[in-house]
């Protein structure tokens, strides 16, 4: 019989010690095997087996949440204290690396192109003015622009300019302000923005402005020339001053209009 069993028998037989208890210092020359320590009186299985078979209360949930959304987790059994909860965030997906059969090759030769528009009837309007309505008209005062040959609008539609050249009388640039952009019925003559071109142009015909409104160009039907003017205040012809004249006799004997490339070249 082992010494551990002897000790157990001593205790069970009720042989009391002086203080009625046993301390480690009162036990000597005692050894016990792992099997003996794993089996004690009243235990139905080894201690390690009991530890291995402990039932843990748990629960899990796999779900994609939107902002402020809540969800319930069902536990395997009831508990008396607050549970410990942890969450693992899913790693965002970066998308697929290939489109497979849906991928169009560099020459677009692996799919059929159908240049059709089923059940569609096209009725182009083009330049047929009979298809337009709501015509708006503004009658010029002959004392302001009695011989208007060309017209130009400021890009935002708030100003309208006329080249007025009678040959025997007034030659000038006149300005009309439009209270409603592009609506000529709202035009009003601006007497403060008029420029007399008589000293440089005998027949003011063609008219064109640089896109920023700082230069204006006129064709002079009287001497087949083009005259450029600089405006110290953009779009205000009253601030114009003559810069240069180019005669076009060898190329055009009767210029009636003018238009420049947007970059001025």
Residue 205 domain flag: yes
Residue 156 has pLDDT above 90, yes or no: yes
Phi-psi region of 166 (alpha: psi -120 to 50; beta: other; left: phi over 0): alpha
The strands making up 215-220's β-sheet, listed across from edge to edge, are 204-209, 215-220, 225-231, 240-247
Most confident of 6-20, 21-35, 158-172, 203-217: 203-217
Lowest mean pLDDT among 24-33, 164-173, 193-202: 24-33
Residue 190 domain flag: yes
Residue 217 has pLDDT above 60, yes or no: yes
Residue 163 domain flag: yes
Residue 24 has pLDDT above 60, yes or no: no
Please answer whether residues 173 and 163 qualify as being in contact, where contact means their C-beta atoms are separated by less than 8 angstroms.
yes
Residue 101 domain flag: no
List, for residues 227-259, the tens digit of each pLDDT value.
Answer: 889 999 999 999 999 887 776 655 556 677 788
What mean pLDDT do residues 48-55 have? 70
Residue 120 domain flag: no
Residue 225 domain flag: yes
Separation CA 6–CA 29 (nearest Å): 12
- The CA-CA-CA angle for residues 145, 147, 148, to 5°, reads 70
Task: Give the per-residue pLDDT at 76.
Answer: 75
Q: How far is CA 86 from the centre of its chain?
A: 38
Distances (CA, A) of 206 to 57, 99, 202, 216: 94, 59, 12, 10
Separation CA 167–CA 204 (nearest Å): 8
Most confident of 16-20, 86-90, 157-161, 224-228: 157-161
List, for residues 104-136, the tens digit of each pLDDT value.
Answer: 666 767 776 666 666 667 676 666 666 666 667
Residue 15 domain flag: yes
At 171 the three-state DSSP class reads strand
The mean pLDDT of the chain is: 74
If one counts the domains in the chain, the total is 2
Separation CA 28–CA 3 (nearest Å): 10
Task: Give the per-residue pLDDT at 25.
Answer: 58
Distances (CA, A) of 110 to 64, 99, 105, 127: 38, 13, 7, 41
- In this structure, what token pair is assigned to residue 130? 């009979």
Separation CA 185–CA 178 (nearest Å): 8
Task: Give the per-residue pLDDT at 160.
Answer: 93
Question: What's the full length of the chain, in residues?
Answer: 265
Task: Give the per-residue pLDDT at 196.
Answer: 87
Residue 67 domain flag: no
Query: What are residue 20's DSSP bridge partners?
Result: none
Task: Give the per-residue pLDDT at 80.
Answer: 72
**260 confidence band (pLDDT: 50, 70, 90):** confident
Residue 148 has pLDDT above 70, yes or no: yes
CATH classification at residue 222: 2.40.10
- Which domain covers residue 14, as residue numbers? 3-52
| CA pseudo-torsion sign 209, 215, 219, 224 | negative
Which DSSP helix (H) or strand (E) runs through 164?
Answer: strand 159-165
Please answer whether residues 184 and 178 qualify as being in contact, where contact means their C-beta atoms are separated by less than 8 angstroms.
yes
Separation CA 27–CA 8 (nearest Å): 12
Q: 19, 36, 52: which is the final residue of a domain? A: 52
Report DSSP state, residue 50: H
Task: Give the per-residue pLDDT at 237.
Answer: 93
**This prediction's pTM:** 0.49
């Amino acid at each position: 019989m082992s010494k551990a069993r002897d000790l157990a028998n001593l205790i069970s037989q009720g042989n009391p010690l002086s203080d009625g208890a046993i301390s480690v210092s009162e036990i000597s020359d005692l050894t016990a095997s792992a099997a003996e320590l794993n089996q004690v009186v009243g235990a139905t299985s080894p201690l390690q087996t009991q530890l291995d078979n402990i039932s843990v209360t748990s629960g899990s949930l796999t779900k994609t949440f939107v902002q402020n959304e809540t969800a319930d987790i069902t536990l395997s059994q009831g508990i008396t204290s607050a549970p410990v909860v942890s969450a693992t965030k899913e790693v965002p997906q970066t998308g697929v690396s290939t489109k497979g059969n849906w991928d169009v090759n560099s020459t677009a030769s692996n799919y059929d192109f159908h240049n059709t528009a089923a059940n569609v009837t096209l009725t182009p309007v083009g330049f047929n003015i009979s298809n337009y309505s709501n015509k708006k008209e503004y009658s010029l005062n002959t004392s302001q622009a009695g011989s208007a040959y060309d017209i130009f609008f400021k890009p935002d539609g708030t100003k309208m300019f006329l080249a007025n050249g009678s040959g025997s009388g007034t030659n000038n640039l006149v300005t009309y302000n439009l209270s409603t952009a592009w609506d000529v019925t709202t035009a009003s003559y601006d007497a403060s923005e008029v420029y007399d071109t008589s000293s440089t142009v005998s027949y003011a015909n063609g008219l064109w402005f640089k896109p920023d409104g700082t230069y204006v160009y006129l064709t002079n039907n009287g001497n087949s020339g083009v005259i450029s003017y600089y405006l110290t205040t953009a779009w205000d012809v009253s601030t114009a001053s003559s810069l240069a004249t180019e005669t076009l006799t060898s190329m055009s004997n009767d210029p009636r209009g003018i238009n420049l490339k947007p970059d001025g070249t």
